[in-house]
Amino acid sequence: MFELPDYVLYVLKKLSSRGFEAYIVGGCVRDIMLQKIPSDFDITTNALPFEIKKCFEEHKIIDIGEKHGTVTIIIDSRKIEITTYRIDGTYSNNRHPDKVTFSCNLYDDLKRRDFTINAMAMKSSGELTDNFNGRSDLKNKIIRTVGDPVKRFTEDALRILRALRFASQLGFHIENKTSEMIHQYAYLIKNISAERIREEFVKILLGNSAEKILREYCDVIEVFIPEIKKSYGFKQYSPYHKYDVWEHTIHAVGASVPEKNVRTAMFFHDIAKPDCFKLDKNGRGHFKGHAVKSAEMTYDILKRLRFSSKDIKDIICVIYHHSDELDNKPEIKLLMNKIGIKNFINLLNVQRADSMSKQEFCRERLKKSNWQEKTAKEIIQNKECYTLKGLAVNGNDLMKLGFEGKENGKMLEYLLKEVIYENLENNKISIINYIKSLK
């Protein structure tokens, strides 16, 4: 049996010693039942917020969520949320209750929760309270709302994406009525903030069952990414492809390594293909410039979903270059210099998954990706020059030779390229003599 961390036991026992009920609740109980280590712990109690604060007055307290009954305390540098049993009022914005009523009954608190697998509570002794058969649904791998799915989803539309996220992460099946209402009420997602949509979308992509969820619930995803609709059933008329654009995309997501930027780039890598399609006289499809156009479209979508500037830059550069061939070491070095080693490795992972989602003969491309990665690692291990930082001369050296301003930078870039193409030895004396010979 999983042992609760000391700081969690401390909180539970302190509340109990003051005569209050106290349980861990929600996702942490679900994870324990799945024999996973919870990332955080939430506690529910019949103590009112002011009583919680009095109980832990010697600790740092954050009471931002107090109007909803939540008090956050800091124990051993860890945050732990303690929430009073409550009954939620009406939801006018499809996200948060307009008001809450505190309760002295654990059942009231559990019945307001989203899914049965998240509506279990556990005492410090390990005793489980499971009024809605969450344990059974965990065993049978089912995502099911607590009570009426219409009520749950109209209360908080984010639960629609959370259902998809749990199904993707856990490999669970979404119960039929719950699934039906997800499709029917997907439009409510428009009322959710872009930041929360982004968080859930990324978690969906990172799940082991992402491919299945994207296929079954594309109508939900298109609520916030309508650009994907053109891909559905779009035939490629190419000897390299056995799937339409959308089916290829979701196969590629499933085939890729579960890393945030890789899977996001994979999802968007061909999004512009329908707009770039040309059919030649032989009946063969071409998508000239689709990588660049896909990068441009993805930039707009990621901005809309409030991805960070760094993530946008990194994801876009991978999409932009995903059709690059890189046939030799100098080309590899040039791209490593341009996009950085982490993005370069992500690019290779995208290209691998792309190849695995085409016709069988395209998997020969995997050998090339493996060679490219091996070459990149050798370049780093052998400390071969591929960036200005690794060049044997710097801007100060060039200033002494009369190069200033933009000319200094241009010359450094020129010298780096000469070194990369092995036209020039990366040696300070050799480079300076070479520069002098150019004058």
Say yes or no to pLDDT of 314 above 90: yes
- Asked if residue 370 and residue 238 are part of one domain, the reply reads yes
Distance CA 281, CA 252 (A): 29
Looking at 169, 191, 224, which one is the last position of a domain? 224
Go through the chain and tell me how many residues it has: 439
Say yes or no to pLDDT of 92 above 80: no
CB of 73 closer than 8 Å to CB of 60 = yes
Res 125: pLDDT:
94
Mean pLDDT for the stretch of residues 402-425:
96
pLDDT band at 1 (very low <50, low <70, confident <90, very high): low
Domain that holds residue 179: 141-224
Looking at 133, 164, 190, which one is the last position of a domain? 133
- Asked if residue 177 and residue 127 are part of one domain, the reply reads no
- Asked if residue 350 and residue 419 are part of one domain, the reply reads no
- Asked if residue 280 and residue 339 are part of one domain, the reply reads yes
- Asked if residue 404 and residue 316 are part of one domain, the reply reads no
Distance CA 33, CA 122 (A): 10
- Asked if residue 283 and residue 189 are part of one domain, the reply reads no
- Asked if residue 310 and residue 198 are part of one domain, the reply reads no
For 23-66, how does the pLDDT look when each residue is reduced to its tens digit (9 = 90+)? 999 999 999 999 999 999 999 999 999 999 999 999 999 988 88
For 163-212, how does the pLDDT look when each residue is reduced to its tens digit (9 = 90+)? 999 999 999 999 999 999 999 999 999 999 999 999 999 999 999 999 99
Cα distances from 303 to residues 48, 297, 307, 311, 390, in angstroms, run 41, 10, 6, 10, 34
Range list of H helices, 234-361: 245-255, 260-268, 273-276, 290-304, 309-320, 329-339, 341-356
Res 287: pLDDT:
96
Q: Across all residues in the chain, what is the average pLDDT?
A: 96
- CATH of residue 129's domain is 3.30.460.10
- Asked if residue 115 and residue 7 are part of one domain, the reply reads yes
Looking at 185, 209, 224, which one is the last position of a domain? 224
Asked whether the CA dihedral 293, 298, 301, 306 is positive or negative, the reply is negative
- Asked if residue 294 and residue 417 are part of one domain, the reply reads no
Query: What percent of the chain is modeled with pLDDT above 70?
Result: 99
Amino acid (1-letter code) at residue 214 = L
Angle (nearest 5°) at CA 301 between 298 and 305: 135
pLDDT band at 67 (very low <50, low <70, confident <90, very high): confident
- Asked if residue 190 and residue 117 are part of one domain, the reply reads no
pLDDT band at 438 (very low <50, low <70, confident <90, very high): confident
Mean pLDDT for the stretch of residues 85-91:
86
For 347-400, how does the pLDDT look when each residue is reduced to its tens digit (9 = 90+)? 999 999 999 999 888 888 899 999 999 999 999 999 999 999 999 999 999 999
Q: Are strands 22-25 and 121-122 parallel, antiparallel or unpaired?
A: antiparallel
336 contact partners, CB below 8 Å, separation of at least 6: 344, 376, 379, 386, 387
Res 94: pLDDT:
78
pTM: predicted TM-score of the whole model, two decimal places: 0.93
- Asked if residue 260 and residue 378 are part of one domain, the reply reads yes
305 contact partners, CB below 8 Å, separation of at least 6: 194, 197, 198, 201, 224
Res 173: pLDDT:
98
Mean pLDDT for the stretch of residues 256-265:
98
Domain count, the chain: 4
Say yes or no to pLDDT of 97 above 80: no
Query: What percent of the chain is modeled with pLDDT above 90?
Result: 92
Amino acid (1-letter code) at residue 81 = E
DSSP secondary structure code for residue 2 in this structure: P
- CATH of residue 258's domain is 1.10.3210
Cα end-to-end distance, the chain, whole Å:
77
- Asked if residue 236 and residue 97 are part of one domain, the reply reads no
